[in-house]
Amino acid sequence: MARIKNAQNRTTRRKNLRRRTKGFFLGRKNLRQATQAAMKADAQAYRGRKERKRQFRRLWTQRINAAARVQGMPYSRFMHGLKLAGIALNRKVLADLAVHEPDTFKVLVEQARTALEA
């Protein structure tokens, strides 16, 4: 039976670990602490990918609210009016319209206002 050696696997594993912890401070980049630092960094990156989606939604809501209040309507009434008017635009598109095309956004506010009054 052939003898199995582990040197190649160990070298590759260590090289990958050093690549992942490049730029970390002191022993966290090349000592035993590097393994734990890499595991923690991976966990934080996973959580951060979920958190980024929440942060963008909050940003879009703030932009829509600011633009709607300039037109004299709070965010909640504006969104409710859009729903009643049958306009199905997501917050990302609405925020983009509010920033780059205020005239189009003003038309949407007017449509939401008429839908609320009806």
- Summarised one tens digit per residue, pLDDT across range 1-38 is 778 778 889 999 999 999 999 999 999 999 999 999 99
pLDDT at 40: 97
Is it the case that residue 66 has pLDDT exceeding 90?
yes
- Which residue has tokens 């199905």? 88
pLDDT at 6: 85
Please give the pLDDT value at position 1: 73
pLDDT for 28: 95
Burial (CB < 10 A; 0-12, 13-18, 19+), residue 4, is exposed
Query: What is the distance of C-alpha 100 from the center of its chain?
Result: 21
8 Å CB contact between 77 and 113: no
CATH topology classification for 24-117: c-terminal domain of poly(a) binding protein (1.10.1900)
In this predicted structure, the answer to whether residue 118 has a pLDDT above a threshold of 80 is yes
Q: What confidence score (pLDDT) does residue 85 get?
A: 97
The pLDDT-based confidence of 116 (bands split at 50, 70, 90) is very high
Domain residue extents for the chain:
24-117
pLDDT of residue 20: 96
Q: Which residues lie below 8 Å from residue 84, measured CB to CB, with a gap of 6+?
A: 112, 115, 116, 118
Q: Tell me the per-residue pLDDT of 95-110, one tens digit each, with 9 for 90 and over.
A: 999 999 999 999 999 9
